[in-house]
Amino acid sequence: MKKVQFGNSGVEAAAVILGCMRMNGADHPQEIIETAVENGINFFDHADIYGGGECETIFGKAMKESTISREDIFIQTKCGIRKGMFDFSKEHIIHSVEDSLKRLGVDYVDALLLHRPDTLVEPEEVAAAFDQLESEGKVKYFGVSNQNPMQIELLKKTVVQPLVANQLQFGIKHTGMVDQGIHVNMTDAGSVDHDGSILDYSRLNEMTIQAWSPYQYGFFEGVFIGNEKFPELNEKMVEIADKYGITSTGLATAWILRHPANMQVIAGTMNTSRIKEIADASKIVLSREDWYAIYLAAGNILP
């Protein structure tokens, strides 16, 4: 399993994360967790809202029934989304983490991310919550999700802990972070900067980008791999995947990991065979030519 620096924490983390959003639909959660760990994927991503908290509960129960040691895995969870609103208040952050710890059956989580930006955020409240959670030993590292550079800078005005990670949608069919850098000084659609140069910001500030929905197109519209809507892309992916001896799913993983930003890929599969495919592909380094060939086959253009 490829390792990447987890922000500026000094920790080396698995390049592939197992996303646990669908764990409440898994038939054998213990087997899934054990398969992931056996293949080097010892980093697990949760959120308080996944399955209404059920996913964390299932994970905690499965961990107790396994022989895996708590110290051998990295558990990350997220908070801040409530029904009809976002909430970065001190009270909600602390309450959410304490509930997650109970459901997971652990004394601490390795990382806590703020899930989606709360426009009513008061950085002082976030800072107070982070200070308390860190001093009580309930959270080791902190980060954000779906935030742009100015939102992060606003938090950093009062938050003293390093913000080590940012979860952002990225993959072969969601390339906005890359497009705007390629199309600088152009006037086409690709030149529009939707994210405030978040890719370059993350590299400059040593924040790890965690790519979510890496195998989907649109906003949870569907999987592009093997999808008849994208014949040119899938033909090219099969061709290049065969060249490296991996599957198309593995190739989609390797494509993200090839970027020098040292991203992590969040794989949300609950299929043990696919977990192995993705883990194996993390070791592959695509050539520059193959990376761009896939980028173009996905419908992108170069100026």
Specify which residues 208 forms β-bridges with.
Answer: 165
Specify which residues 44 forms β-bridges with.
Answer: 18, 75
SS (H, E, C) the chain: CCEEECCCCCCEEECEEEECCCHHHCCCHHHHHHHHHHCCCCEEECCCCHHHHHHHHHHHHHHHHCCCCHHHCEEEEEECEECCEECCCHHHHHHHHHHHHHHHCCCCEEEEEECCCCCCCCHHHHHHHHHHHHHCCCEEEEEEECCCHHHHHHHHCCCCCCEEEEEEECECCECHHHHHHHCCCCCCHHHCCCCCCHHHHHHHCCCEEEEECCCEECCCCEECCCCCCCHHHHHHHHHHHHHHCCCHHHHHHHHHHCCCCCCEEEECCCCHHHHHHHHHHCCCCCCHHHHHHHHHHCCCCCC
If we measure between CA atoms, which residue out of 155, 86, 87, 164 comes closest to residue 127? 155
Which of 50, 141, 217, 295 is labelled catalytic? 50
Return the amino acid letter for 101. L
Please confirm, yes or no, whether 50 is among the known catalytic residues.
yes
Strand 208-212 relative to strand 264-267: parallel, antiparallel, unpaired? parallel
How far is the C-alpha of 70 from the C-alpha of 59, rounded, in Å?
A: 12
Quick one: residue 271, left, alpha or beta (phi over 0 = left, psi -120 to 50 = alpha)? Answer: beta
The residues annotated as belonging to the active site are 50
